[in-house]
């Protein structure tokens, strides 16, 4: 003989309380995960901001900028201003846009508040298309940066586009 009591009010309240606690704890875990993700992203942005602080104060100016593609100068000249409180090192100029970046200067160190000018002659191939110069430098935290006139700046090397690509290569 089985004797079973029917659930009473206390049993029902305990069951609904357990269900509500499970739902509430799941919501709390989801909110905690979202806050952790937000905080991690904010700290990453702060760290990147601090890393870019000095590089943001370096300004590249193209002195003899052409008005159009037909007036490209035979000698390109850029001026690099270091408005930061620390020196920048190994400042080099590149002519972007060909199969390899042409390193045009051995590299100069620019003191805080200093300026340097980099000049180079362009060959006939470079004069055919519009090629903006790129400047490469290392900041006081030993981070390598690439900059161009007009404010473009990146810590990744600029993409170099070859004049023409070989589609077929035959090997014997």
pLDDT digits over 82-124, tens only?
Answer: 999 999 998 888 766 543 444 555 678 889 999 988 877 765 5
State mean pLDDT over 14-29: 96
- Do 34 and 72 belong to one domain? no
Q: Is residue 145 predicted with pLDDT exceeding 70?
A: yes
Q: Is residue 168 part of a domain?
A: no
- Do 31 and 62 belong to one domain? no
Residue 39: domain span: 13-52
What average pLDDT does the chain have? 78
- The rounded distance, in Å, linking the Cα atoms of 120 and 61 is 15
- Do 110 and 38 belong to one domain? no
- The rounded distance, in Å, linking the Cα atoms of 56 and 83 is 9
- Do 103 and 137 belong to one domain? yes
Number of domains into which the chain is organized:
2
Q: Supply the CATH number for residue 93's domain.
A: 2.60.40
Q: Is residue 162 part of a domain?
A: no
- Do 79 and 126 belong to one domain? yes
Q: Per-residue DSSP letters for 132-162? A: -EEEEEE-TTS-EEEE-TTS-EESSPPPP--
Q: Is residue 142 predicted with pLDDT exceeding 90?
A: no
Q: Is residue 121 part of a domain?
A: yes
- The rounded distance, in Å, linking the Cα atoms of 96 and 134 is 6
Q: Is residue 140 part of a domain?
A: yes
- Do 60 and 48 belong to one domain? no
- Do 17 and 61 belong to one domain? no
Q: Is residue 107 part of a domain?
A: yes
Q: Is residue 4 part of a domain?
A: no
pLDDT reported for residue 156: 75
Lowest average pLDDT, out of 20-24, 28-32, 47-51, 165-169, goes to: 165-169
Q: Is residue 160 part of a domain?
A: no
What phi and psi, each to the nearest 5 degrees, are found at residue 40?
-65, -45
- Do 61 and 97 belong to one domain? yes
3-class secondary structure, 52 = helix
- Do 142 and 65 belong to one domain? yes
Q: E strands within the chain?
A: 58-62, 75-82, 88-95, 102-103, 108-110, 115-121, 133-138, 144-147, 153-154
What pTM was estimated for this model as a whole? Answer: 0.63
- Do 112 and 138 belong to one domain? yes
């Amino acid at each position: 003989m089985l004797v079973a009591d029917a659930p009473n009010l206390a049993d029902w309240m305990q069951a609904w309380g357990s269900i509500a606690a499970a739902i509430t704890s799941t919501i709390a875990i989801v909110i905690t995960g979202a806050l952790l993700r937000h905080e991690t992203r904010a700290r990453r942005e702060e760290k990147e901001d601090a890393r870019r602080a000095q590089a943001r104060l370096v300004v590249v100016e193209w002195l003899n900028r052409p008005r159009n593609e037909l007036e490209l100068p035979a000698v390109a000249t850029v001026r690099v201003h270091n408005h930061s409180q620390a020196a920048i090192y190994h400042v080099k100029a590149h002519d972007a846009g060909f199969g390899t970046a042409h390193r045009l200067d051995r590299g100069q160190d620019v003191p805080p508040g200093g300026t340097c000018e980099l000049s180079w002659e362009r060959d006939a191939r470079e004069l055919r298309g519009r090629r903006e110069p790129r400047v490469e430098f290392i900041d006081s935290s030993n981070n390598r940066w690439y900059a161009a006139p007009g404010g473009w700046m990146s810590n990744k090397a600029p993409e170099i586009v070859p004049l023409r690509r070989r589609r077929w290569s035959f090997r014997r």
